[in-house]
Amino acid sequence: MEQDTLKLLFFGDITGRQGRIALKSFLASVDKSNTFVIANIENASHGFGLTKKNYNDLSEAGVNCFTSGNHIWDKKDVYEYINDAKDLVRPINYPIGTPGKGSQVFSFRGAKIGVINALGRVFMPPIDSPWQIVVEEINKLKDEGVEHIFIDFHAEATAEKICFSKFLASEFNTESYSLIKGFFGTHTHVQTADEQIIKGMAYITDVGFCGTSDSVIGMEYSTSLKRLSTSLPERYEIAEKGVACLNGVEVLIDRARATQIKRFNILIDNDIQERKADFDSGG
């Protein structure tokens, strides 16, 4: 590595247009020369899935790696590009033959970075167990010379996230060297306050989400209220008010271990950002 310290930014579930705008405006001021950026994008296109257009747009904005979850298949054009998307990771514990890859390896500042995405099973749709599959993938990446591994565990249950993270840290990390530098929970869209370093591995139960602040985890209050209070079918509608929250973590790592994790919850007025962009472009 060119420097001993590497910075990682991991953003919680990008949800809809407001989440995309907030992420892009934030990344515009980030020094990307020493910062590796990961964002969960399974809700990036109108709250469900990821279109190729939005994938390309966020890639140009500076996202190095895209992780996902159970909603990655909701926009059907994903099947047209997922096999060729070298920086997009879908959950690894889908059955053999599922399009896309469950992990990707990146060369960044002279280091090899591996990113793995996995789905939990508690309170989630039926899926293969991640326990053995993820262990096998970590061993494979280790044999390929990967120095830093980051895991996005897309799961509902807090206990499952905590237990899985401790298991992997005990299997692969020691007091002197940590192969797994980060384990980040996603899916609930609610940021937890338990960020910590476990045997050299940065951990948080849920990173949170990036989307409209005045919402129900990114969705309109009115449609959420009807669905949750009556139990009748109601299509969720993405919230579109201009003030967005940006949830994420900043992790510092050296050659051997993660040394620091800080969570952030930033409010961004997207209406102001869009007016500024129009002014800067002469529009």
Which residues are designated catalytic?
A: 71
Q: Which token pair is 95?
A: 């059955």
Instruction: Please give the Cα distance from 40 to 72 (Å, whole number).
Output: 10
Nearest to 53 by CA among 43, 45, 41: 45
| 14 in Cβ contact with 47 (< 8 Å) | no
Measured CA distances, 98 to 91, 101, 245 (Å): 10, 8, 33
Instruction: Please give the Cα distance from 238 to 46 (Å, whole number).
Output: 6
| 68 in Cβ contact with 40 (< 8 Å) | yes
Owner of token pair 């129900």: 216
